Structure formats: C-alpha cells, structure tokens
Structure 1
C-alpha cells in the first residue's frame, strides 16, 4: 500500500475496514491450545536441521535454542535446547525493531502521528534533518550516513558505537548527530539507528509517564504477553533496535496478531492498513546481487516478495511470507496462506543457517508441502 494511500485513511476508515463479522478462530488465553503434530519423516527432517549436533567449542553449525510452531492459532510443535525453556525470555536482537513497529502501530491508530510527519516534529533533537519523515525511518531509508557492521568490522561500525561505546548514553541522539549522505526516501540502508530514533520520537509524543509503560499497555497486555523485558539506554529511551526479550510462546502472539492483519480476538489492535504498510516493499529498494537470499524490506518487517529483477528470497516459501529477523538467527516467520507462525531463537555464529531451508522443512512437516 503506498504511503500516500495510508496517510489518507482516517482512524474511522481503518476501523470500518475491519468491521466484517469475525470467523470462528482459535486465540490463546493465558496459554495456547496445544495439539502436538504426530511424528513423521518430515518432522524428523526438520528436527535434523534445526537441532543438528554442533561443536559448541568453536560455535560452528546451526544452533537452535527454541523452535515453536503455531497453526490455526494452535500450538502444534515446541522444542527447546538447554538452557532455554518455555519460560525463558530470550534476547530477540533485531526482532525488537518489528516489535517496536507494532507498538508504533497502536500509536498510529490513536492518531498520534502520520507517516509524512517530519521526524523533527516528534523528536526535536532531529531538527538538523527536516526532510526526514517518519515513513523514511520505518523503511530504513533516512539517508543518514550509517554503517551497520557488527563484530566483524567494529572499528567503522555505527551500530557498535551506538550500542557499546560513545553512543550508548543516548542512542537516538547519537544517531541524530550523523549527517546525510543520500536524499531521504531514495535509498534503503539498514540502520539500527533509524529504529532508535523512532523510539525517541514516540517518547516525545507520549510524554515520560505514558512512554514508560506504553509497550505493555499498548501491545503486550492486550496480547496476554507476560514475559516481556525491554531495556532502555542511559537516557531512558527503549532500545527499539535490539534489546527486547520474550519467551517463544509470547513472541508467537505477535506473529498471530500480524497473521490476522492486526486483529486480536474481537478487537482491531493494529490498523489493518498499518499491517499492510509493514508488508509493502520499500519502493526504492534495490536487491543486492551478491546476496540474492536477502529478504526485501517493508515497514521494519522483512518480505519474501519477488521483485522485477529478483526472485523470491526464500523460494520454497509462499510469496506472502514475511518475518521479523534478528542477529544470530532469531526469527519470527508468518505464513498467512498456511495459517502458520514459526518462532526460532538461536545462537548461529558461522552463517550456515538458511531461512529457506528451515521454512521448506517446516512446510513439509506441518502442511504436507513437497520440498
């Protein structure tokens, strides 16, 4: 959905969009309804990939800490590797970005901001960049001169500096201090800084007292999420880029919310048009020919869409598949056509894990799809 179309929709219009009668569907209350899938060769193949033996001394190979599958709102598979358990709030890394976007979606539905608002309207420390819009940040298209390199290139990494050294005291302020090296909205560049500026903007919109509790009152409590922990930086801003922790079962609730277009039970928690924006490819995205399996960026979610010059990133999954992804293999996959939500927590260090491989095997195990 184009940004201009989403901007024109009023809150009343968004509610009308979702006023059709509800179908009989399974929703978790305090816990999920559980109907474990029977053992099968396909399920064994999935487990052989996800839980293969790994040399933990060298951290080589796939390391899954948790794998959980929801189908039709029912828990059909769940397995953990020590020390992770069903009660462990796991660090989600950059899944936090997509989680925070859902928090922002509630604020959007309340009319607190528009996608074409200048960021500086809601975060005055960003006043040096008056042409950057809220929608640009959501598409990782701020135009800021930012380097998203991790532990393998720490000296030039903007994100390492933000999280661990000179920027850690005020992560949004550190991001705002960067100059532009592209016209906002014209170029995709993945940026944890963009996500943390969104967090600071929400803080200024809400005021200190409401902001402190807002992820819980706006999103977690309505979904029945009880395990969430979200770290704040020294300035008191939620680290939207990286530092949310949830159990696998609680993270799956967010996946089900997104699978069902923002509806939770009989309530439209997120505007359906907001979810549509999250699932719309960034218009000016150019695939990297050296990384053909990179997912396509939407509104701080990742998409499996085929573009004019590139095939689907995950060829064995439906094109409607989308995901929240994090460092070292964290993943929340949503497959609307199959009514599947898959949560994976992990500690992958060597780059051998492949999204498509797990999705292919999960589809075979839980839908009977042939690889």
Structure 2
C-alpha cells in the first residue's frame, strides 16, 4: 500500500474554524483520517473532551549528546536505502526524541509541532504508564501484586475490580476486549463510536 506524502497542516490550510473551506475543515467525522489528522492530532482538545495534564513545576533537564543519527542507513519495505532524515520525513512524524543513558541523542519537531505542543498519544499512553509502573516495581516502590483498585479506586465497580497490577501489565487480567479493526462490530469500534466520533 502506498501512503500519501506527509504534509504540513499549516501549508495544507487544515483546521476546524468556520472560515476554513469544507474540503480542508477538520470535523468529528474525519479527524482521524488523512489529511485531517495532520492537524487534529495536535488539536484533539478542540474535538473531543479531554483534560490537560500539567507538567512538573521544575522538570529535570536532560543533557544533550547528539549521536549523529543522520549517518544511519537502512532499507525500507521496498528494499530502497534510506538515511535517517529521509526515513523520519516519510513517517508522518510530528515529534521525536531519542534518549540514550539519560541524554537526548536526537530531537526533532515537524508539522507545526513544538516541545510545548500537546499531541494525541493513543496507545502510547499505556506504554508510558506501563514503563513507569515497571520502574516503580523494580525500585521496590510499588508491589506487583497490588490490587488494581488500591491504585485506582474508581475501577472498584468495573471488570478490573479483581485484578492486580501485575495482571494488567502482563495483559493476563482475563477481561475480554475485541480489538479487531477489520470487524466493524468489534469492541474497539463500539468504544470508538461512543467517544472518538463526536459528530
């Protein structure tokens, strides 16, 4: 499958305001599809209910040690050689930061993104939360067998009520959820229709 070329939402004139032409206007029905998602993933709060999370009052600065990733070369799915910059440019990346041993070795922002721009994360959220939880377990700050409802009391009346943190992290909690995107009757599509499709 050939993907359309990445575009910058500003150059494409995408947005949500009434003065934007209809063929460029982002709506609740199209915000997750190309090209509208180029704007929408940085402006999700204007489309669906969400709450901003405040950053740390005094974030710990990370040292910068650029690693020269631009010298990397590899083959793409068509067996064509790409350098790092060509690869990142082809992936619809809005922002990327690469850390190694606590230092920033690569950082880039594209498509109107800045270090302060909020961006929709989708399932990346669970990966970050899982990594933090595993770090806390490894440091002895949290027990792996902690009951889920002790960590998140709001889940006390949900299917997660009898589970542990370890079961959630290992995805062995036994809670059924069909995430088959090809099946339009799957749980993921019912979930999406109730929240992700505001129109």
Report the TM range for the smaller structure's normalisation. 0.3 to 0.5
Bigger relative contact order, structure 1 or 2, given CA contacts below 8 A and separation 6+? 1
TM-score, normalised with respect to structure 1: 0.27
